[in-house]
């Protein structure tokens, strides 16, 4: 059995930012189930929100974050995010991240529900790729960090209720156990649980399922943010049409060519994402909905090179054409429940980034706060791990959190996964009600009877998607109100008191 001081599952912004710190005190093994370049981080377009203009700016960023979260934001976590953000972004700059500049000054743009232009971006609309590349360059130069690509975290190892490492499946299909003084889940989100998503294929909620199966608390899983404007052409991927397009003045038009957002919210196209997503869904019942930038006198190809290159594949241009859009699953506000130091309910286990739920986003994430979250809370989790990690001798009586199953037939897995994703989209998506959620519950129970059993990455992902789907549906059913990204047609009102859902070992409760 291998032994390291720190095991990090995931190589996006949270995992890399943690590994950089952990390497100063011990041996770090960072595993990524795909190539390291593949993560939600690498696809982030619009930018990173950060208040670099002093105290007043920080206070406003906090208020915007609180307002977007619809009563459910953990103020302590949000304050940590906005206060420590500038320092962490200064570090990124020192490590060579090249944010866009004009006349030497950092450029800042604005996105939905931000009261100020505070979003830094890189290469126009390729912010995440630039951040990931510079972090990775930094990590690769650290001899104390071993990077293992194509290595999937399967199960957590438990000893007397403590997490002491994980089992991993390597690229050749071999299983190995790694013992660690502290284990960090930085495995990102779960957009693949829905048939329509902006997330890449790696976002299958593995870390959430691993933690939940080991007995950890997960929280606020009913809150999935649906990005209002994913590209919507039949047969094309749901490529993200960044909120920064609306920040630069893009309008939303319905099939009649009418600008409809004035009927839905005073902030118009820059209203909170859930409001815009529901408005597009409603208007979309009568035909396609479009983004319109034809009136903007700016070099849009230079400002949005990635989006422009994508659209060119479909012979579309931002400055000339209407761009068809509709919502897609984008960001999970819920996740493995942690405090602001990344500590989960299981000793030895930490979580940071999109896999975690500190409550920083409440019921709805403020645009561009999640890269910052990975950066800030990845660092904080690392500091807590460094304080707590024991380097004790050999451990005994270790068990995997869920029993490993043998080999089986992978052939039907893709159909099985496609069924799960489409039932989640139809019955546990943007607009929910008890009838649909009960139907989703039944269909998930039926799918459980044919749960893929093989010990392959895809079968593991299928099982994890199922676990995550079950928790999302149970949490969405239990929350009999509408709040933030969770909208119930049968309970459109807000409860007077905002409470977090917590699920542990199949039991759901609400806490303040």
Ligand X SMILES: Cc1cc2nc3c(=O)[nH]c(=O)nc-3n(C[C@H](O)[C@H](O)[C@H](O)COP(=O)(O)OP(=O)(O)OC[C@H]3O[C@@H](n4cnc5c(N)ncnc54)[C@H](O)[C@@H]3O)c2cc1C
Q: Which of residues 275-304 bind ligand X (CB under 6 A)?
A: none
Distance, CA of 39 to CA of 133 (rounded, Å): 12
Cβ-contact 322, 253 below 8 angstroms: yes
Stretch that binds ligand X, among 13-21, 100-108, 425-433, 447-455 (CB under 6 A): 13-21
Give how far Cα 109 sits from Cα of 112, 125, 235, 300, 437, Å: 11, 11, 32, 14, 39
Cβ proximity to ligand X: between 294 and 458 the closer is: 458
CB of 31 vs ligand X, minimal distance in Å: 5
**How many residues at the interface with ligand X, by CB under 6 A?**
43
Cβ proximity to ligand X: between 127 and 254 the closer is: 127
Q: What are phi and psi of 142, to 5 degrees?
A: -105, 110
* Listed residue (401, 411, 419) closest to 459, CA to CA: 411
Cβ proximity to ligand X: between 361 and 479 the closer is: 361
Task: Rule CB under 6 A: say whether 354 interacts with ligand X.
Answer: yes
CB of 457 vs ligand X, minimal distance in Å: 8
Q: How far is CA 329 from the centre of its chain?
A: 10
Task: Rule CB under 6 A: say whether 32 interacts with ligand X.
Answer: yes
**For this structure, is 273 an active site residue?**
yes
Q: Which of residues 147-166 bind ligand X (CB under 6 A)?
A: 152-153
* Listed residue (164, 214, 153, 184) closest to 395, CA to CA: 164
Task: Rule CB under 6 A: say whether 130 interacts with ligand X.
Answer: no
Cβ proximity to ligand X: between 74 and 151 the closer is: 151
Q: What are phi and psi of 13, to 5 degrees?
A: -60, -40
Specify the length of the chain in residues. 512
Task: Rule CB under 6 A: say whether 10 interacts with ligand X.
Answer: yes
Stretch that binds ligand X, among 44-52, 133-141, 253-261, 392-400 (CB under 6 A): 44-52
Residue from 5, 19, 28, 46 touching ligand X (CB under 6 A): that is 46
Distance, CA of 396 to CA of 226 (rounded, Å): 45
Residues 219-242 as b or e (16 or more Cβ within 10 Å = b): bbbbbbbbbbbbbbeeeeebbbbb
Catalytic residue among 110, 273, 343, 483: 273
Residue from 13, 139, 381, 473 touching ligand X (CB under 6 A): that is 13
CB of 194 vs ligand X, minimal distance in Å: 12
CB of 43 vs ligand X, minimal distance in Å: 4
The binding track of 358-377 with respect to ligand X, each residue x by CB under 6 A or -, is: ----------xxxx--x---
Q: Considering just the CA atoms, what is the radius of gyration of the chain in Å?
A: 22
Cβ proximity to ligand X: between 130 and 441 the closer is: 130
Listed in sequence order, the residues at least 6 apart from 232 whose beta carbon sits closer than 8 Å to its beta carbon are: 238, 288, 289, 324, 325, 326
Residue from 82, 156, 157, 240 touching ligand X (CB under 6 A): that is 240
**Residues forming beta bridges with residue 49, ordered by sequence position:** 119
Task: Rule CB under 6 A: say whether 351 interacts with ligand X.
Answer: no
Q: Which of residues 320-339 bind ligand X (CB under 6 A)?
A: 331
DSSP string of 18-83? HHHHHTTTS-EEEE-SS-TT-SHHHH--S-EE---S-HHHHHHHHHHHHHHTTT---HHHHHHHHH
Stretch that binds ligand X, among 27-35, 385-393, 420-428, 499-507 (CB under 6 A): 27-35
Give how far Cα 76 sits from Cα of 191, 212, 381, Å: 27, 25, 16
Contact residues toward ligand X (CB under 6 A) are 9-15, 31-34, 38-41, 43-48, 127-128, 152-153, 186-188, 198-199, 202-203, 206, 240, 331, 353-355, 368-371, 374
- Catalytic residue list: 273
């Amino acid at each position: 059995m291998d032994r390291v001081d720190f095991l990090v599952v995931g190589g996006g912004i949270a995992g890399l930012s943690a590994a950089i710190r952990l390497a100063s005190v011990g041996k770090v093994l960072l595993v990524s189930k795909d190539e390291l370049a593949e993560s939600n981080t690498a696809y982030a377009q619009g930018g990173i929100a950060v208040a670099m203009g002093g105290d007043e700016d920080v206070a406003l960023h906090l208020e915007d974050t609180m307002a977007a979260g619809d009563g459910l934001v953990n103020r302590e976590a949000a304050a940590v995010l906005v206060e420590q953000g500038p320092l962490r972004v200064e570090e990124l700059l020192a490590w060579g991240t090249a944010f866009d500049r004009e006349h030497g000054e950092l450029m800042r743009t604005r996105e939905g529900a931000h009261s100020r232009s505070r979003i830094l971006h890189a290469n126009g609309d390729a912010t995440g790729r630039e951040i990931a590349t510079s972090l990775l360059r930094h990590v690769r130069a650290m001899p104390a960090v071993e990077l293992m690509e194509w290595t999937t975290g399967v199960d957590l190892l438990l000893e007397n209720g403590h997490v002491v490492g994980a089992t991993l499946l390597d690229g050749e299909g071999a299983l190995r156990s790694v013992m660690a003084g502290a284990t960090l889940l930085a495995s990102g989100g779960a957009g693949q649980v829905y048939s329509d998503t902006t997330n890449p294929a790696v976002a299958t909620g593995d870390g959430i399922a691993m933690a939940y199966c080991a007995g950890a608390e997960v929280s606020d899983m009913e809150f999935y943010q649906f990005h209002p404007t994913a590209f919507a052409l039949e047969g094309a991927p749901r490529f993200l049409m960044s909120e920064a397009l609306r920040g630069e003045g893009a309008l939303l038009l319905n099939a009649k060519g009418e600008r409809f957002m004035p009927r839905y919210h005073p902030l118009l196209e820059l209203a909170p994402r859930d409001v815009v997503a529901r408005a597009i869904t409603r208007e979309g019942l009568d035909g396609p909905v479009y983004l319109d930038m034809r009136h903007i006198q700016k070099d849009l190809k230079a400002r949005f090179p990635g989006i422009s290159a994508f659209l060119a594949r479909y012979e579309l241009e931002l400055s000339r054409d209407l761009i068809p859009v509709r919502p897609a699953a984008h960001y999970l506000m819920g996740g493995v429940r942690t405090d602001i130091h990344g500590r989960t309910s299981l000793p030895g286990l930490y979580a940071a980034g999109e896999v975690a739920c500190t409550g920083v986003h409440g019921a709805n994430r403020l645009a561009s706060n999640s890269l910052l979250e990975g950066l800030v809370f990845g660092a904080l989790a690392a500091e807590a791990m460094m304080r707590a990690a024991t380097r004790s001798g050999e451990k005994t009586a270790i068990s995997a959190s869920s029993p490993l199953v043998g080999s089986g037939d992978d052939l039907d897995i893709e159909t099985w996964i496609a069924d799960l994703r489409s039932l989640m989209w139809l019955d546990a998506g943007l607009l929910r009600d008890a009838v649909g959620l009960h139907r989703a519950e039944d269909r998930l129970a039926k799918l459980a009877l044919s749960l893929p059993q093989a010990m392959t990455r895809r079968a593991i992902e299928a099982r994890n998607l199922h676990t995550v789907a079950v928790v999302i549906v149970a949490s969405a059913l239990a929350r009999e109100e509408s709040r933030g990204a969770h909208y119930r047609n049968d309970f459109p009102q807000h409860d007077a008191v905002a409470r977090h859902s917590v699920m542990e070992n199949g039991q759901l409760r609400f806490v303040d």
